[in-house]
Amino acid sequence: MTFDSLNIIKPILESLALEGYTIPTPIQLEAIPPLLEGRDLLGSAQTGTGKTAAFAIPILQKLYSKSMPTKKEKRIKALILTPTRELAAQIQDSFRTYGRNLGLKTIVVFGGVGQKPQTDMLKAGVDILVATPGRLLDLMAQGFIDLQFLDFFVLDEADRMLDMGFIHDVNKVIAKLPSKRQTMLFSATMPPLIEELANSILVHPKRIAITPVETTVEKIEQFVYHVAKKNKVELLYSLLKDKKITSALVFTRTKHMANKVSQALFTKGVTTDAIHGNKSQSARIEALRRFKAGEIRVLVATDIAARGLDIDELSHVINFDLPDVPETYIHRIGRTGRAGLSGVAITFCGEDEYGLFLDIEFHIGIKINVIKDHLFAITPTLQKPMPKPPVMPKRRRNPYERTNR
């Protein structure tokens, strides 16, 4: 099945071809036809499944067709609400990429950066608005955003909105939307509160569930190096001599370690940058841009900073530190091997991380290949738990003991 068979208009097909997309992903196959028919959608799918194109293509196509006879004035006709700035920026990128031949305007608004450039763009006229909830409400309250002409509303990563405490803001936005509209809700999981929300905002939706990222784990080649903590940077540097590692996302547990690793590599001549919560939003965006553009080869990140990052053609994920929970391991390595590509995930297991490593293996149900032949190899051993302080037996009262009572 190709994109041509999905009734997608030529100018969009041309952009997809330029991107190198030939075969639709399962969510695109299932979502695009009902969305083009105008149905609401409830999609249970994670980032990495191609869900952005699944909603962006139909929205672009319908807006384009609508605006064909007369070029209507620019006003917000589609709103995509997403929890993080990174996701928002990536969704805007996707709309611009797929819609590059359509003359529609997509802009993004999110917090943590100055408001003026955003309000200037809003004043200049917009067709598609991508936003995070807080900044959107701010701008709405200040009268910069008018949603009365909205035709399409996408609520992206609804479960994360809930996790991140944004659900009240989301509800406030929904209350301001016109009731006649096409609505799409995406969520990786469907906790009861999200089901409830879905029931209240969707009308006879098409339901689509796409297998979670977990099942893609088998497609990723996974290796582990047992290495003493103090030698991890040296090991990383020695691996980077392999030219096959064209772009690596390296995960560390702490912000401090992300900086340390990135600096150590930098002094050795590796092009690198670090992203974590202490970096400004603009520094993070710039690092991501340089990484995507191939200007830097290694991006070192903490899990929080890497949330929702969408990076094409990532050759390697390297777990410099093991994550605390197996699910995070799956999310990390799921960033390589996207959209049907194969990928490589390398894990450094320090002397005190073997227990965590065994947990991960058990959880994913796969034996990870151990690379034994390297300069810094150690034999993994399970560290004994700290001995508990001896418990002094409680002194039994001698029933015959004489007391003064």
Q: Which stretch binds ligand AMP (CB under 6 A): 23-31, 212-220, 270-278, 342-350?
A: 23-31
21 binds ligand AMP (CB under 6 A): yes
> Least distance to ligand AMP from the beta carbon of 4, Å?
13
Stretch that binds ligand AMP, among 47-55, 177-185, 272-280, 344-352 (CB under 6 A): 47-55
DSSP assignment letter at 377:
B
Q: How far is the CB of 219 from ligand AMP (least distance, A)?
A: 14
Please state the separation of Cα 211 from the chain's center in Å.
16
- For 167, the enclosing helix (H) or strand (E) is helix 167-175
- Phi then psi for 310, rounded to 5 degrees? -115, 105
Minimum Å gap between C-beta 97 and ligand AMP is 8
- Select the residue interacting with ligand AMP from 52, 84, 92, 336 (CB under 6 A): 52
Query: Is the Cα dihedral 265, 321, 316, 283 positive or negative?
Result: negative
Q: In the bound complex, what is the minimum distance in angstroms from residue 78's beta carbon to ligand AMP?
A: 16
Reduced to 3 states (helix: H, G, I; strand: E, B; else coil), residue 270 is: coil
Q: Quote the tokens at residue 267.
A: 């002094």
Handedness of CA 217, 219, 220, 222 (dihedral sign): positive
Task: Choose the binding region for ligand AMP from 30-38, 46-54, 122-130, 198-206 (rule: CB under 6 A).
Answer: 46-54
Q: How far is the CB of 262 from ligand AMP (least distance, A)?
A: 24
Rounded distance, CA 22 to CA 75, Å? 32
Rounded Cα–Cα distance for residues 348 and 223 (Å): 9
CB of 356 to ligand AMP, least distance (A): 28
Q: Does 284 bind ligand AMP (CB under 6 A)?
A: no
Provide the minimum distance between the beta carbon of 175 and ligand AMP in the complex, in angstroms, as a whole number.
Answer: 28
Query: In the bound complex, what is the minimum distance in angstroms from residue 24's beta carbon to ligand AMP?
Result: 5
Number of residues that bind ligand AMP (CB under 6 A): 16
Query: Which residues, numbered 293-322, are part of the site for ligand AMP (CB under 6 A)?
Result: 310, 312
State the alpha helices, DSSP H only, in 274-393: 281-292, 303-306, 326-333, 354-364
Distance CA 117, CA 318 (A): 37
The number of C-alpha atoms within 13 Å of 169 and in the hemisphere containing its C-beta is 23
Q: Does 12 bind ligand AMP (CB under 6 A)?
A: no
CA angle 267/271/275 to nearest 5° reads 95
**Contact region with ligand AMP (CB under 6 A), list: 5-13, 19-27, 111-119, 168-176:** 19-27
Mark 330-369 with x for binding to ligand AMP (rule: CB under 6 A) and - for no binding: --------xx------------------------------
Side by side, which strands form the sheet with 128-131?
A: 106-109, 128-131, 78-81, 152-155, 182-187, 41-44, 206-209
Q: According to CB under 6 A, which one of 15, 44, 47, 187 is a site residue for ligand AMP?
A: 47
Query: Using CB under 6 A, which of the segments 43-51, 58-66, 203-211, 276-284 binds ligand AMP?
Result: 43-51
Minimum CB distance to ligand AMP smaller for 10 or for 402: 10
Query: 226 vs 331, which CB is nearer to ligand AMP?
Result: 331
Number of other CB atoms surrounding residue 152 within 10 Å: 21
CB within 8 A of 344, min separation 6: which ones? 220, 221, 222, 223, 315, 316, 317, 336
Question: Which residues fall within 8 angstroms of residue 393, CB to CB, at 6 or more apart?
Answer: none
Q: Which is nearer to ligand AMP, 11 or 121 (CB)?
A: 11
Residue 247 found at the interface with ligand AMP (CB under 6 A): no
What's the distance, CA 319 to chain centroid? 17
| CB-nearer residue toward ligand AMP: 106 or 231 | 106
Please, are residues 330 and 213 in contact by the beta-carbon 8 Å criterion?
A: yes
Name the minimum Å distance from CB 46 to ligand AMP: 7
Under the binding rule (CB under 6 A), the answer on residue 50 touching ligand AMP is: yes
What minimum distance in Å lies between the beta carbon of 51 and ligand AMP?
Answer: 5
Tokens 């007391």 sit on residue: 403
Among 25, 61, 132, 262, interactor with ligand AMP by CB under 6 A: 25
Dist. CA 127–CA 77, nearest whole Å: 5
Which chain residues interact with ligand AMP by CB under 6 A? 21, 23-25, 28, 47-53, 310, 312, 338-339
